[in-house]
């Protein structure tokens, strides 16, 4: 497994590189955002550990840029900040998980393994529903239109995660808590409104009449 650490504080980056190296990860280090983008464009990584406050290009911007470039490598934000605002910004910019410094190494490794595993599962299959096909690894839906060529619809990471989880549990009512837990991972209690927002944007893209994703009042969501 190949990991990129993006961290300008050498006192954190270098020992972390050594520790992860001992766990048989192959590790590169970028000390600023610009170097990080060059590394990411040149090499394929299984996971990116991304500091928020960085010289040249900050962590939020780095994450936004790589997602715009259709790179779906899992990103774990490393930061000293613990404000809700920053976390939401991180997730909106495409981060998969969040670890607040100072972090426990074994916990960080567990998080790395979780996001890597989920990402590789995502890549396995497309999922068909209604007149759509979801490609989780590409954050994309293809809509087939009778007698016409098909249309591609782009999704955000989290929209993809929510839709994929509902589709893999077709016919079951999935609670807000369960969705947050599976799609967001950490410190989930803060983000119930975020889920609502993502359901709303998803519906706008594929389900304006609310026929695909059903809201079960007080219980959660369901796709039949």
User: What mask of x and - would describe binding to Ca ion in positions 50 to 79, judged by CB under 5 A?
Assistant: -x-x--------------------------
Question: Which CB atom, from 53 or from 197, has the smaller least distance to Ca ion?
Answer: 53
Closest separation in Å from C-beta 21 to Ca ion? 21
User: By the 8 A CB rule, do 176 and 192 touch?
Assistant: yes
With contacts defined by CB under 5 A, name the span among 5-13, 121-129, 162-170, 205-213 that binds Ca ion: 5-13
SS3 state at 210? coil
Residues 6+ apart with CB under 8 A from 137: 72, 122, 123
Could you say whether residue 86 binds Ca ion (CB under 5 A)?
A: no
Instruction: Give the orientation angle of helix 157-168 with respect to helix 176-184, to 10 degrees.
Output: 120
Could you say whether residue 100 binds Ca ion (CB under 5 A)?
A: no
Give the footprint of Ca ion on residues 127-146 (CB under 5 A).
Answer: none
Cα angle, residue 98 at apex, residues 67 and 17 outer, rounded to 5°: 90
Closest separation in Å from C-beta 7 to Ca ion? 6
Could you say whether residue 8 binds Ca ion (CB under 5 A)?
A: yes
User: By the 8 A CB rule, do 220 and 176 touch?
Assistant: yes
Q: How far apart are CA 117 and CA 223, in angstroms?
A: 25
Contacting positions for Ca ion (CB under 5 A): 8, 51, 53
């Amino acid at each position: 497994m190949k990991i990129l650490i993006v961290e300008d504080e050498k006192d954190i980056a270098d020992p972390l590189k050594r520790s992860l190296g001992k766990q048989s990860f192959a590790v590169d280090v970028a000390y600023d955002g610009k170097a990080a983008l060059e590394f990411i464009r040149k090499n394929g990584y299984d996971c990116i550990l991304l500091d928020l406050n960085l010289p040249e290009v900050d962590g939020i911007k780095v994450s936004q840029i790589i997602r715009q470039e259709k790179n779906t490598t899992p990103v774990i934000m490393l930061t000293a900040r613990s404000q809700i605002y920053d976390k939401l910004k991180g997730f909106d910019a495409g981060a998969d998980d969040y670890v607040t410094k100072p972090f426990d190494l074994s916990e960080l490794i567990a998080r790395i393994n979780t996001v890597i595993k989920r990402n590789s599962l995502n890549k396995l299959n497309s999922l068909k529903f209604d007149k759509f096909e979801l490609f989780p690894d590409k954050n994309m839906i293809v809509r087939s239109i009778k007698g016409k060529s098909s249309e591609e619809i782009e999704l955000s990471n989290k929209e993809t995660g929510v839709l994929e989880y509902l589709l893999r549990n077709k016919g079951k009512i999935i609670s807000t808590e369960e969705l947050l837990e599976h799609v967001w991972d950490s410190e989930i209690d803060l983000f119930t409104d975020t889920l609502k927002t993502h359901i709303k944007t998803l519906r706008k893209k594929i389900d304006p009449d609310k026929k695909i994703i059903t809201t079960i009042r007080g219980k959660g969501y369901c796709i039949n």
